[in-house]
Amino acid sequence: MNSRLLGRTGQKVSEIGFGAWGIGKSWWGKTDDTESLRSLRRAIELGVTFFDTAYVYGDGHSEQLIHQAFRETRGRYFVATKCPPKNMGWPADPRTPLKEAFPEDWMTSCTERSLQNLGTDCLDLQQFHVWTDAWVDQDEWKNTVAKLKKQGKIRWFGVSINDLDPDSALQLVESGLVDTVQVIYNIFEQAPAKSLFPLCQKMNVGVIVRVPLDEGGLSGTLTPQTKFEKEDFRSNYFAEGRLAETCARVEKLKPLLESYAPTIPELALKFILGHPAVSVVIPGMRRVKNVEINTRISGSAPLPKDVLQELKKHAWKRTRHPIV
């Protein structure tokens, strides 16, 4: 497993990380804790050292499973968690006063809960689960981050950027106030490469890439007939013709499959790792099989330059990332 630097944190983390939303058991339909724990343990065995979670992933359930896997394997690795906005508003709206989203008492109590769930005294990385640059000049969140760092409750601070709106954190990155950003970047959603990534490189801000497989759209397992359980948010995400269009677009990627990327998920993850601004990519992995496939990608042949170039033509401009 190759490592990369997580920006100014100076920490080396595995370039394939573990996305732990699905294992939280909320939003993804039937999910089995036993299999989730096997996946976490297998990921650790195969060299994964970066885990992305959030308090809202099952009200702490995802954090608790990560803690359990660390206890069982007697290891402790880099964990990035997230503080939800107090108003539970996704995406962040620039008209929302900061007080309604991230007041000091809320940030402090969410941090305490995550510390408890993860069984640690200090969070490696606390992230705001939403962000708008309308908040960049306000002092309360900055003072609270500084206080939590000083108290030793968080080591580094980052934000998770609104879906499909990578430019909504440019001022924050430019301000030098964050250590990392988390953003959607994949074969379909390539907008971060335009302004966000070069700025992160200039400011030495770590880049955590989420939704690398387009919530399964780039998993190579969907067909136009795929049906999702009612409790699986993807019954909505792939509604209104999006499933059929996704499958048609995936068909157009198949001529690019070669020995360096024989399957769609391998092509998708290698595309992301092909960008030098990326510190870590965090596919969601509830199944051991997927952990094994995805971890194998690191260290194997990268995509040739002409393939990376060709993949730029497969960007798909969408304005909506429907979760509910």
Q: Assess 211 for contact with ligand NAP (CB under 6 A).
A: yes
Nearest 5°: phi and psi at 218?
A: -110, 25
Question: Please, which of residues 63-82 interact with ligand NAP by CB under 6 A?
Answer: 82
List 172, 282, 303, 307, residue binding ligand NAP (CB under 6 A): 282
| Closer residue to ligand NAP, CB minimum distance, 147 or 316 | 316
Q: Assess 285 for contact with ligand NAP (CB under 6 A).
A: yes
Q: Assess 287 for contact with ligand NAP (CB under 6 A).
A: yes
Question: Please, which of residues 4-23 interact with ligand NAP by CB under 6 A?
Answer: 19-22
| Site size for ligand NAP (CB under 6 A) | 28
For residue 71, give both structure tokens: 């206890």
Among residues 76, 61, 78, which one has the least CA distance to residue 13? 78
- Residue appearing with tokens 């990332």: 321
For residue 240, give both structure tokens: 């209104």
* Side-chain half-sphere CA neighbours of 239 within 13 A: 13
What are the residues whose beta carbons fall under 8 Å from the beta carbon of 2, sequence distance 6 or more?
14, 15, 298, 299
Q: Assess 85 for contact with ligand NAP (CB under 6 A).
A: no
* Greatest extent of the chain over all pairs of C-alpha atoms, in Å: 54
Q: Assess 60 for contact with ligand NAP (CB under 6 A).
A: no
CA distance 263 to 258: 8
Looking only at the bridges linking them, the beta strands covering 154-160 and 180-184 are parallel
Calculate ∠ Cα 273-274-278, nearest 5°.
Answer: 50
Q: Assess 213 for contact with ligand NAP (CB under 6 A).
A: yes
CA distance 14 to 46: 10
Q: Assess 166 for contact with ligand NAP (CB under 6 A).
A: no
CA distance 263 to 246: 16
Is residue 45 classed as helix, strand or coil in its secondary structure? helix
Cβ at position 139, least distance to ligand NAP in Å = 24
Is residue 187 classed as helix, strand or coil in its secondary structure? coil
Q: Assess 25 for contact with ligand NAP (CB under 6 A).
A: no
| Closer residue to ligand NAP, CB minimum distance, 7 or 212 | 212
179 touches 205 (CB < 8 A): yes
CA distance 197 to 181: 10
111 touches 66 (CB < 8 A): no
| CA gyration radius, the chain | 19
Cβ-closest residue to ligand NAP?
A: 284
Binding letters toward ligand NAP, positions 170-209, x by CB under 6 A: ------------x---------------------------
Question: Please, which of residues 112-151 interact with ligand NAP by CB under 6 A?
Answer: 129
Among residues 220, 236, 217, which one has the least CA distance to residue 27? 236
Cβ at position 294, least distance to ligand NAP in Å = 5
Question: Please, which of residues 40-59 interact with ligand NAP by CB under 6 A?
Answer: 52
List 144, 214, 271, 273, residue binding ligand NAP (CB under 6 A): 214
Cβ at position 62, least distance to ligand NAP in Å = 8
Cβ at position 59, least distance to ligand NAP in Å = 15
| Closer residue to ligand NAP, CB minimum distance, 115 or 211 | 211
Cβ at position 27, least distance to ligand NAP in Å = 9
Question: Please, which of residues 224-263 interact with ligand NAP by CB under 6 A?
Answer: none
Q: Which residues bind ligand NAP (CB under 6 A)?
A: 19-22, 52, 82, 129, 160, 182, 210-216, 219, 221, 265, 282-287, 290, 293-294
